[in-house]
Amino acid sequence: MPRKKRRNKFRQFTIVALLCTGALVLWLYFNKVAEFFSMDRETNFTLYPGFGIQIPNGYAIHGIDVSRYQQQINWPMVKQMKEKDVRLGFAFIKATEGIRYTDGSFKRNWRKARENRLTRGAYHFFVAYRDGKKQAEHFINTVNLLPGDLPPVLDVETLDGTSASEMQKNVKAWLKTIEAYYHVKPIIYSNASFYNNYLHDQFSNYPLWVAHYLEPRQPRVSREWKFWQHNEGGRVNGIYGFVDFNVFNGDSTEFSAMLVK
């Protein structure tokens, strides 16, 4: 009889333990769900129907980036567009790629953006296995920066089949050559994942323009960033098709401080 009582007590203990474990699992699950929805409620985005996207609140300066894929842009319409409290204050324009290619719309976009008093910046699409210095020289031969322009941008997103160390060597050569010529620190553009995996440790002293779409708060990089490309599906009057949207992480004084003198 005592042995049977011990068995019953063991069974009771097991049942209680299982119930407690189940309750704990349920509590953790619902806590995570609640946390998820709480996070969603805390995201400060506002839908701007004219732009066709939600735009993060709390940023005063908004901009786009374009290339030949947007075809011929009506820059006066871009400059004039405004919805609620948002108008476009800058445009990054693709200039070059690799050691030979120049974007077919660059010259026109570069000229028209300035004519319409939209702060402009030029970017180079980096080919990781190509010589970094030669790529920089191609950019220099293409882009004439003037006071009031944004610093040159290096768009680096892929390894292109080469090693990380080779890519980093070529990136350093591009940045060093560009900084020596224009006397301004270049901006690095990359998506959050690529930057965290391949660039963070060696390039944290360069201004960062980071792409991270559908991120509810801000880009997931463990460093300060200057520009955030938060959406690739925006609409702008005067531009064919979709266009990338960006915000500047700072006020007008900080923005002006970045510009070429």
Q: Are 92 and 81 within one domain? A: yes
> Among all residues, which ones are annotated catalytic?
157
Structure tokens at 67: 């290339």
68 with 178, same domain? yes
Q: Domains in the chain: how many in total?
A: 2
Neighbours of 115 (CB within 10 A): 11
- Domain with 79 in it: what CATH number? 3.20.20.80
26 with 110, same domain: the answer is no
Q: What is the pLDDT of residue 11?
A: 58
Domain span holding position 22: 1-42
Q: Are 88 and 61 in contact (CB under 8 A)?
A: no
Q: Are 241 and 105 in contact (CB under 8 A)?
A: no
Same domain for 50 and 24, yes or no, is: no
Straight-line distance from the first to the last Cα atom of the chain, in angstroms, rounded to the nearest whole number: 94
Whether residue 84 sits in one domain with residue 22: no
Q: Is 257 strand, coil or helix?
A: helix
In a shared domain, residues 204 and 252: yes
Q: Which residues of the chain have pLDDT under 70?
A: 1-43
* Shared-domain flag, residues 135 and 253: yes
Least Cα distance to 143 among 157, 124, 171 occurs for 124
pLDDT reported for residue 32: 40
Closest CA to 63 of 92, 84, 29: 92
Find how far residue 49's CA is from the centre of its chain: 22
As a whole number of angstroms, the distance between CA 93 and CA 109 comes to 7
What's the pLDDT at 85? 92
Start-end of H helices in the chain: 2-42, 75-80, 106-115, 132-142, 164-182, 192-194, 252-258
> Reduced to 3 states, what is the DSSP secondary structure of residue 82?
strand
Using DSSP, state whether 106 is helix, strand or coil.
helix
Q: What is the pLDDT of residue 216?
A: 86
**Same structural domain for residues 162 and 88?**
yes
- DSSP labels for 140-188? HHH----TTPPPPEEE----TTS-HHHHHHHHHHHHHHHHHHHSSPPEE
Of 233, 220, 65, give the one whose Cα is nearest residue 153.
Answer: 65
Specify whether 145 is located in the same domain as 224: yes
